[in-house]
Amino acid sequence: MELRFKGGNEYIRLVINRKKKEAMIQSKTTQYTLTPIKWKMLFDKGKEKAQERMTDGLKDEEFKTILMISMAQQGYSLVEDGSR
C-alpha cells in the first residue's frame, strides 16, 4: 500500500506492507528520503497495541480509511493512492 498526503506545503509518502508489518515514510523530516519506521508509529502514541489489534483484521480499504482519518486530524489530506 502506498499513500501520499499533503498538509500545507509538506508532502508525506507512506509505503506500507501490512503482511510483514513494515512501514516506510518519505517526508520533510527524512529530507524526502524513503526511510523505514517502526510499525507502531502508524498508531496513536500510548494506544499502539490496542489499535494494532483492532486494525489487524481490517481489509486494506478499511485500514486506509483509518490512516486517512488519523492524518486528517494532523492536517493532512490524501492526494494519491498508489496501492491500486
Whether residue 34 is contained in a domain is answered as yes
Interatomic CA distance for residues 13 and 27, integer angstroms: 7
Over residues 11-31, mean pLDDT:
96
Interatomic CA distance for residues 80 and 46, integer angstroms: 29
Better-scored residue on pLDDT, 48 or 13: 13
4 Rama sector, left if φ>0, alpha if ψ -120 to 50, beta otherwise: beta
Domain that holds residue 6: 2-76
Cell readout for 78 is 490524501
Whether residue 84 is contained in a domain is answered as no
Over residues 51-63, mean pLDDT:
93
Whether residue 82 is contained in a domain is answered as no
Interatomic CA distance for residues 17 and 33, integer angstroms: 18
65 pLDDT above the threshold of 90: yes
Over residues 34-46, mean pLDDT:
93
| DSSP state letter for 56 | H
Whether residue 13 is contained in a domain is answered as yes
